[in-house]
C-alpha cells in the first residue's frame, strides 16, 4: 500500500504557505487595528461636542459667561516679566481646562501664574465661558482668539499660506486613508505613520502657531509653551531659573531610551535621508527632542532666523510633494531650532502616555509633566484606563455642563 503522507518537499511547501497565510492575516489584523485607532483618534467625541455647544449657548445668554479675561485690574500682568507666563494653544475646552487646573493646583505661587490661552474663532466663546464660570483665582487667565492679535490679523502669515498649500498637496499626494490601507507592500507601522499624518491635528493652526510666539508676545522675554494633551504634576516655577546658555528652546531630548515610539528618536526618525536635500544638510544620528513642554527664551529667539528657517523648509517640503518629511510640526522644528536647543532634565517632560499601555503608573506619577502624545488621548474611549486617571483628577466633574454632557471619570 502506497504511503499517503506527503514527501518532505511537499510538506515544506505546505508549511511555507501556511506561514505566509498567517503572516498575511496578522498583517491585516494589525492594519485594521491601526485604522480603527486612526478613526477613533481623529473624531471629536460627542461629549466634547456637547460641551462646546452648551458653553457657546451659555456665552450668548449669560453675562457671567462672557467676562473680560482677565479683568481690567490684572491686564498689566499680561506683559509683566516678573510673572510666570505659560502659553497654551488649543481648540479643546476640556483639555485646556485640565492643563490650566493642573498648572495652578500644583503651583507654589499661583498668584504669579499667567496663562495665555490662544484658540480659534469657533472655540473662543466656549473657552471664554468655561474660564469665566470656572476662575482659577489667584492665577491670571487670558483667553484670546488668534484673530484678536493685531500682528496676526494685519500681517501676511507664512504658516497660514503653508497650511493651505499643505492641505492641497496632501489631498493629491495621499489619496486618503483607503489608499494607504490598500497598499499591500508596506509594513503595518509605516501605514500607521501615514494614517497618523492624516490626522486633523497636524493641519490644525493650533499645532503650528508656536513658531510665531515672538511676534504674538512682543513684550515677553520667556514663556513655557504647553500642548493641550499634557498634565502638570509639580510646581513649574523652577523652569524660569534654568540657565539656557543663550539657547532659545529648552527641551527634553528623545534619543536616550529603548522605547521605539518616543525615546529612541533621532533625526532619521523624522526626516527622509534618502532625499539629497536632507542628506546634504543634516546628520541622521543627531538626537531629536520633544515638543509639548518647552521653555522658549523669546528675547534670544528674536535675534535669530529661526522662524524664517522654519517657513523656508515648509516651502521646500511642499515643493518636494511632502517627500522631505510627512508628519507634523516637529520635523521643521528640528531643522529650524537646530543649534538653538538647550537640553533639560527628563523629569520635566515624560512622553508616550498616549502610545502604549506599558507605561508604569509609578513612573508617570513621579514625572513633573506627563504628555499623552500619541493617539490614545485621555478624553477618548481608546485611552489607557490606568493612565487616564492622572488626567481625570483635574476634570471638574461637579460642573453642570460636564454632568449634562455625560463626561465621566471612566
Please tell me whether residue 89 adopts helix, strand or coil conformation: strand
DSSP for 94-118 reads HHHHHHHHHHHHT-S-GGGEEEEEE
Q: Mean pLDDT across the stretch 160-179?
A: 55
* Count of domains forming the chain: 1
Q: Over 70: is that where the pLDDT of 65 sits? A: yes
pLDDT at 410: 74
Q: Which of 119-123, 144-148, 284-288, 394-398 has the lowest mean pLDDT?
A: 144-148
Supply the pLDDT for residue 267.
96
pLDDT single digits (tens) 304-314: 999 999 999 98
Q: What is the pLDDT of residue 322?
A: 80
- Residue 28 placed within a domain: no
Return the residue matching grid coordinates 499660506. 161
Q: Please report whether residue 12 resides in a domain.
A: no
Residue 23 has pLDDT above 50, yes or no: yes
Alpha-carbon span 253 to 287, nearest angstrom: 7
Quick one: average pLDDT of 369-388? 91
**pLDDT in the model for residue 18:** 74
Q: Is 191 left (phi over 0), alpha (psi -120 to 50) or beta?
A: alpha
Q: What is the pLDDT of residue 245?
A: 95
Torsion of CA 55, 59, 61, 65, to 10 degrees: 100
**Average pLDDT across the chain, whole number:** 85
19 within a domain of the structure (yes/no): no
- Per-residue model confidence (pLDDT) at position 387: 93
Domain limits at 262?
46-404
Give the Cβ contact number of residue 28 at 10 Å: 12
**Statement: residue 52 has pLDDT above 90:** yes
Distance between CA atoms of residues 263 and 269, nearest Å = 11
Q: Identify the weakest region by mean pLDDT among 49-53, 135-139, 166-170.
A: 166-170
Residue 77's alpha-carbon distances to 84, 140, 186, in angstroms, are 10, 8, 53
For 247, which DSSP code? -
Examine residue 270 and state whether it is found in any structural domain, yes or no.
yes
In a domain, 155, yes or no: yes
Does position 59 have pLDDT exceeding 80, yes or no? Answer: yes
Q: Does 274 have pLDDT greater than 70?
A: yes
Per the domain annotation, does 9 fall within a domain? no
Is there a domain that residue 30 lies in?
no
Per-residue pLDDT averaged across 150-160, rounded? 63
Between 160 and 57, where is the model more confident? 57
CATH number, residue 229: 3.90.550.10
In a domain, residue 3? The reply is no
pLDDT band with cut points at 50, 70 and 90 for residue 173: very low
pLDDT band for position 105 (cuts 50, 70, 90): very high
Amino acid at each position: 500500500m502506497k504511503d499517503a503522507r506527503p514527501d518532505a518537499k511537499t510538506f515544506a511547501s505546505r508549511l511555507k504557505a501556511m506561514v505566509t497565510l498567517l503572516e498575511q492575516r496578522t498583517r491585516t489584523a494589525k492594519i485594521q487595528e491601526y485604522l480603527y485607532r486612526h478613526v477613533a483618534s481623529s473624531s471629536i467625541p460627542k461629549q466634547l461636542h456637547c460641551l462646546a455647544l452648551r458653553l457657546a449657548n451659555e456665552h450668548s445668554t449669560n453675562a457671567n459667561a462672557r467676562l473680560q479675561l482677565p479683568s481690567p485690574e490684572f491686564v498689566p500682568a499680561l506683559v509683566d516679566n516678573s510673572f510666570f507666563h505659560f502659553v497654551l494653544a488649543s481648540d479643546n475646552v476640556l483639555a485646556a481646562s485640565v492643563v490650566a487646573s493642573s498648572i495652578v493646583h500644583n503651583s507654589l505661587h499661583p498668584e504669579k501664574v499667567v496663562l495665555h490661552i490662544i484658540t480659534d474663532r469657533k472655540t473662543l466663546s466656549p473657552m471664554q465661558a468655561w474660564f469665566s464660570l470656572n476662575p482659577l483665582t489667584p492665577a491670571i487667565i487670558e483667553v484670546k482668539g488668534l484673530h484678536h492679535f493685531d500682528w496676526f490679523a494685519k500681517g501676511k502669515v507664512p504658516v497660514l499660506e503653508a497650511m493651505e498649500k499643505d492641505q492641497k498637496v496632501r489631498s493629491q499626494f495621499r489619496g486618503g486613508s483607503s489608499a494607504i490601507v490598500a497598499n499591500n507592500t508596506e509594513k503595518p507601522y509605516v501605514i500607521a505613520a501615514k494614517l497618523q499624518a492624516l490626522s486633523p491635528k497636524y493641519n490644525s493652526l493650533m499645532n503650528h502657531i508656536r513658531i510665531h510666539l515672538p511676534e504674538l508676545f512682543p513684550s515677553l522675554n520667556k514663556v513655557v509653551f504647553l500642548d493641550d494633551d499634557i498634565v502638570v504634576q509639580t510646581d513649574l516655577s523652577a523652569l524660569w531659573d534654568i540657565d539656557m546658555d543663550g539657547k532659545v528652546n529648552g527641551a527634553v531630548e528623545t534619543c536616550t531610551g529603548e522605547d521605539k515610539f518616543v525615546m529612541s528618536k533621532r533625526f532619521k526618525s523624522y526626516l527622509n535621508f534618502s532625499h539629497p536635500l536632507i542628506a546634504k544638510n543634516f546628520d541622521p544620528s543627531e538626537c531629536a527632542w520633544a515638543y509639548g513642554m518647552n521653555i522658549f527664551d523669546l528675547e534670544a529667539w528674536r535675534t535669530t532666523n529661526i522662524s524664517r528657517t522654519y517657513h523656508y523648509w515648509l516651502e521646500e517640503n511642499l515643493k518636494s510633494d511632502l517627500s522631505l518629511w510627512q508628519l507634523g510640526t516637529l520635523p521643521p522644528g528640528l531643522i529650524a531650532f537646530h543649534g538653538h536647543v538647550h537640553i533639560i532634565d527628563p523629569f520635566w517632560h515624560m512622553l508616550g502616555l498616549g502610545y502604549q499601555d506599558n507605561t508604569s503608573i509609578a513612573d508617570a506619577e513621579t514625572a513633573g509633566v506627563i504628555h499623552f502624545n500619541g493617539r490614545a488621548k485621555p478624553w477618548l474611549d481608546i485611552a489607557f484606563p490606568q493612565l487616564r486617571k492622572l488626567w481625570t483628577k483635574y476634570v471638574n466633574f461637579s460642573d453642570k455642563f460636564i454632568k449634562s454632557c455625560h463626561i465621566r471619570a471612566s
